[in-house]
Chains A and B, each alone.
Chain A
Amino acid sequence: MRITQGTFSFLPDLTPAQVKAQIQYALDQGWAVSVEHTDDPHPRNTFWEMWGPPMFDLRDAAGVYGEVEACRSANPGQYVRVNAFDSVRGWETVRLSFIVQRPAQEDGFRLERTEGPGRTQRYGLHHRQYSAG
């Protein structure tokens, strides 16, 4: 099951040139770009591992792309994403975030239903890899 989170996730995987172009766009807007990776793409997992600190004061995508490549080769079977943070007052948030690497085999999630008090139904998403089902 293909994970769809972040920008462009319903599109085919971006080519290196497209990734560079997106990074360049972010840099041109004055956003600080960072690279993160994880093996747990659960939508509630907002804390991915940081690949180095966010990169400030960069002018060209080549610098960021080098880090993307380094992160990919160090974490071959993991999800890697690129974030662009806007520090302008009023925004102060991530403006762009997209996945640049996925594992070859994406396990996806399974919906788990639990009976609660008063027959309420609770739902949970479970990573297929971890659940015995």
Chain B
Amino acid sequence: MLNAAFSAPSAALPAEAAAGRLDLGALFTESEVPAFLAELDEGLIGLKPVKRRIREIAAHLVIGRARERLGLTSGAPTLHMAFTGNPGTGKTTVALKMAQILHRLGYVRRGHLVSVTRDDLVGQYIGHTAPKTKEILKKAMGGVLFIDEAYYLYRPENERDYGQEAIEILLQVMENQRDDLVVILAGYKDRMDRFFESNPGFRSRIAHHIDFPDYEDVELVEIARTMAQAADYAFAPGAEAALVEYVAKRRAQPNFANARSIRNAFDRMRLRQSLRLFEEGGLADRAALATITEGDVRASRVFAGGIDAPKAPSRPG
């Protein structure tokens, strides 16, 4: 039923299939995956290992379709995944794209993403957890269930924690209803590793472990530029140089969250730009409104030694 759109009935097999040959290229093209991968390449900066892994999965799914057409067995592959990586490395963004890719390939029927954390799955008193978890699972049916910071589900220090109950229900559905939904777990690498050690059932039911690397400085600057472009801003030449310095400095400071830090920094630069224009007064033309100058970047506290350093008066952020 799930595959109805793709596996043609034997009477309507394409000519190549009848001859026992399939044009993989054509099959790949008609699956709309290439367009998607190109979009992924363009839309996401860096993340090479992740893209490679997604490419592999996509190729595997297309080959699975091809095998089906030629009458080879192709059991529905296990598509549950674990995304590990530091904060701000694009796990949620990729999960969203993943839901779309799997939908285009016909492996999930609806292609929506239900994003949850421990609070949405685990109840507060006895008998509260199972209905809550099942409710979420029902909502995610036909799509992708994204569990952010999945290791919070398991609290070893409290043996009566209800998280264990949620884990058991999850495992059961992940095993028995593999063609109804795909589960993606996400979290920081070390804690996810510990989570999997204490829940071996999870590790074995997840076929794809994808590690999201930290962004390099160049990539972060590129991300800032893309963000600015999307919001109709541009960096002045001096500002871009300052940005490179900013990224290097910010990385060394605590609570660095890769692209998320950059997004926050960009938001603050916009605030500073607005205030500057306001205080300068006079006439502002289109270019002035769209340009972030070196001063806007350099006013950041990061250059003054980070958030722990004493605040410069009247220069927040």
- Interchain CB contact (< 8 A) of B139 among A20, A52, A57: A57
Listed in ascending order, the chain B residues whose CB lies under 8 Å from chain A are 1, 109-110, 112, 131, 137-139, 141-143, 177, 180-181
Nearest B residue (CB) for A60: B142
Docked-complex contact B1 and A60, CB < 8 angstroms: no
Docked-complex contact A17 and B1, CB < 8 angstroms: yes
Provide the residues of chain A in CB contact with B141, threshold 8 Å.
Answer: 58-63, 66
Chain A contributes a number of interface residues (CB within 8 A of B) equal to: 14
Q: A55-B138, A59-B139 are known; give 20 further A-B pairs, CB within 8 A.
A: A20-B1, A52-B131, A57-B139, A58-B139, A59-B142, A59-B143, A60-B109, A60-B141, A60-B180, A61-B141, A61-B142, A62-B109, A62-B141, A62-B180, A63-B138, A63-B141, A63-B142, A64-B138, A66-B141, A66-B177
Interface SS of chain B: loop
Q: Min CB distance, A132 to chain B, in Å?
A: 43
Listed A/B pairs (30) with beta-carbon separation below 8 Å: A17-B1, A52-B131, A55-B138, A57-B139, A58-B138, A59-B112, A59-B139, A59-B143, A60-B109, A60-B110, A60-B142, A60-B143, A60-B180, A61-B141, A61-B142, A62-B109, A62-B141, A62-B142, A62-B177, A62-B181, A63-B137, A63-B138, A63-B139, A63-B141, A63-B142, A64-B138, A66-B138, A66-B141, A66-B177, A67-B138
**Pairs A-B, 4 closest by C-beta atoms:** A60-B142, A63-B138, A63-B141, A62-B141
A119 to B257, CA, bound (A): 88
A59 to B1, CA, bound (A): 17
